[in-house]
Amino acid sequence: MGKTIAEKIFDSHFVDNPFGDIHVIRLDAVFCHEITTPGAINDLIDRGKDRVFDSARIKAVIDHVTPAKDTKTAMQGKVLREWALRHNIHDFFDIGRNGVCHAIFPEKGFVLPGYTLIMGDSHTCTHGAFGAFAAGVGTTDLEVGILKGVCAFHYPVTMKLNITGRMPEGVCAKDVILSIIGRLGVNGATNKVIEFAGPVVDKMSMEARMTCCNMAVEAGGTCGICCPDMTTVEYLWEFIKGEYATKEEALEEFNRFSPDPDAVYEDVIDHDISELEPQVTFGYKPDQVKPVKEMEGIKVDQVYIGSCTNGRIEDLRVAAEVLNGEKISDSVRGIVSPATPKVFSQAMEEGILKIFMDAGFCVTNPTCGACLGMSNGVLAEGEVCASTTNRNFNGRMGKGGMVHLMSPATAAATAIAGHITNSRLYKED
């Protein structure tokens, strides 16, 4: 019987099967940020187990609230910083070098095809874009990951999503994933791995694949996953070129993790996007999705472009294309948060930041910022934000605030109009 990507990864990392379908697997990496890791660190200290399994396989970043905004967040950073120092964790990114975890770690080449990794963060599924099994976990699992480099999971069940058709102009990866979540529902993939496949995914950049995998969890998925291909190799080449003579050789190695032709999926869904229009959420759940034109005219107070979903260079480019030479509405506060220092410098070099600033946007340092409503753009009660983030839960960006999720192109067009509107890149015929 053939195997899926996730099954191949699990079998190659097998450690133990203590009970039922629970598999304990070896981890190639454990990622950490300052919100969920300090709790794990302090508990390990309390247990007399302040150790790490392998300091080279642990990567840490302060990204959620940076610079610290108050004593509590300063304390979270301090616990993480001192721990990284104490355990010689080299790949620790503090202010000035830090960026949103799910953007900066892939950018540094820390995720390779076939990898297993965990993090105390639900959007860890993003890294599946590289053909890795990457899952968000709770504090106890994180502690065990840090201490022993293993994690226990149910043996993976995979749902295959074949994305077919041709991507209409002005439609972004974000629109694709929003339409998928709208179709599956917030529980549609609960406890499953979503394998994104088909001609549309084959053509997607790594950034676009990350946008899709990022939101797998919004349909309940444990992990999103894309089969590694030449696009993956090209993205990773600067980090792996020492190990392979040619790109083809690297790809051949990574293809060990490609799904078998007779792999068994729990479900195979064909999702045709030829007729897809830009999408936007309308409620407090990410599956409450509508075409933008049905939401046309809804006034917004703030536009936020950034986050682990859409704060990468491609996202900023597409927004800048819409904003170029335009001014945002007087009634809108525009905030853009390039996801990493690299994205920030690139956007600077390409003149993108200038376009944003000339349009009237505030450019922040790389951080999660307003995404989780802790800093850099918290909403007041009754306010509405057009956002490129991934969660519209009640109160997510501030108590009593409303968040409409959308693509960077739609967000930019909305900023100019002052109300929700189709991206100007998207032409209806």
Partner 1 sequence: MKNFSGKALFLDRSDINTDEIIPAKYLTEISRKALKPYLLEDIKLDGFDKKDVEGKSVIITRANFGCGSSREHAPWALEGNGINLVIAESFARIFRQNMYNCGMMAVELSAQAIEHLFNDFAGKETFVETDLEKNRFILQDDEHKQEIPFEIFEFDRALVEAGGWVEYADLRY
Pick the closest to residue 368 from 406, 404, 340 (CA basis). 340
- Chain-centroid distance, C-alpha 280: 18
Segment interacting with partner 1, rule: CB under 8 A, options 73-81, 163-171, 251-259, 409-417: 73-81
* Nearer to ligand SF4 among residue 123 and residue 160 (C-beta): 123
Six-digit token pair at 289?
């999705």
Decide if residue 140 touches partner 1 (CB under 8 A).
yes
Residue 123 contacts ligand SF4 per CB under 6 A: yes
Residue type, 143: E
Considering beta carbons, is residue 27 or 363 the nearer one to partner 1?
A: 27
Give φ, ψ of 361 to 5 degrees.
-80, 150
Rounded Cα distance between 351 and 336, Å, is: 14
The interface with partner 1 within residues 47-66 (CB under 8 A) comprises: 47, 49
State the number of CA atoms in the 13 A half-sphere of 131 facing the CB: 26
Rg (CA), the chain: 21
How many residues can be counted in the chain? 429
Kindly state the smallest distance separating residue 388's Cβ from partner 1, in Å: 24
Which of ligand SF4, partner 1, none is residue 121 near (CB under 5 to 8 Å by kind)? ligand SF4
Nearer to ligand SF4, 55 or 122 (CB): 122
| In the complex, least distance from residue 49 CB atom to partner 1, rounded to whole angstroms | 6
Q: In this chain, which of 121, 195, 287, 315 binds ligand SF4, going by CB under 6 A?
A: 121
Contacts of 134 (CB under 8 A, 6+ apart): 111, 115, 116, 117, 118, 119, 124, 125, 126, 127, 128, 223
Q: Is residue 394 part of the contact set for partner 1 (CB under 8 A)?
A: no
Tokens at 47, concatenated: 């247990």
Instruction: Tell how far CA 367 is from the center of its chain.
Output: 13
Q: Which of 179/367 has CB closer to ligand SF4? A: 367
Selected binder of partner 1 within 147, 240, 357, 378 (CB under 8 A): 147
Determine the size of the site formed for partner 1 (CB under 8 A): 29
Cβ count within 10 A of residue 269: 16
Q: How far is the CB of 309 from ligand SF4 (least distance, A)?
A: 7
**# of chain residues touching ligand SF4 (CB under 6 A):** 13
Per DSSP bridges, beta strands 22-26 and 150-154 are antiparallel
> Nearest distance from residue 371's CB to ligand SF4, in Å?
3
Out of 32, 44, 163, 412, which residue is the one contacting partner 1 (CB under 8 A)? 44
Which among 7, 13, 389, 309 has a CA at the least distance from the CA of 160? 7
Per-residue buried b or exposed e for 110-141, using 16+ beta carbons within 10 Å of the residue's own CB:
bbbbbbbbbbbbebbbbbbbbbbbbbbbebeb
Taking CB within 5 to 8 Å according to partner kind, which of partner 1, ligand SF4, none is near residue 264? none
Q: Do residues 353 and 359 make contact, with C-beta atoms less than 8 angstroms apart?
A: no
Q: Are 151 and 144 in contact (CB under 8 A)?
A: yes
Looking at beta carbons only, is 128 or 259 nearer to ligand SF4?
128
Applying CB under 6 A, does 390 fall inside the site for ligand SF4? Answer: yes
Give the strand pairing for 14-19 and 22-26. Answer: antiparallel
Q: Using the rule CB under 6 A, which residue among 3, 13, 57, 102 binds ligand SF4?
A: 102
Provide the 3-class DSSP secondary structure of residue 289: strand
Report the residue number, 31 or 83, with the smaller CB distance to partner 1.
83
**Residue 371 touches ligand SF4, criterion: CB under 6 A:** yes
Contacts of 419 by beta carbon, 8 Å cutoff, 6+ apart: 296, 297, 298, 299, 300
Contact 384, 401 (CB under 8 A): yes
Q: Which of 29, 62, 79, 412 binds partner 1 (CB under 8 A)?
A: 79
368 is a site residue for ligand SF4 (CB under 6 A): yes
Of residues 9, 58, 63, 76, which one binds partner 1 by CB under 8 A? 76
Interface with ligand SF4, residue 385, by CB under 6 A: no
The reply to whether 138 sits near partner 1 by the rule CB under 8 A is yes
| CA 274/CA 282 separation, integer angstroms | 23
The reply on whether position 72 binds partner 1 by CB under 8 A is yes
Site string for ligand SF4, 396-425 (x = CB under 6 A): ------------------------------
Residues found near ligand SF4 in the complex (CB under 6 A) = 64, 100-102, 121, 123, 307-308, 368, 371-372, 389-390
Residues found near partner 1 in the complex (CB under 8 A) = 15-16, 18-20, 22, 24, 38-39, 42-44, 47, 49, 72-73, 75-76, 79, 138-141, 143-144, 147-148, 150, 152
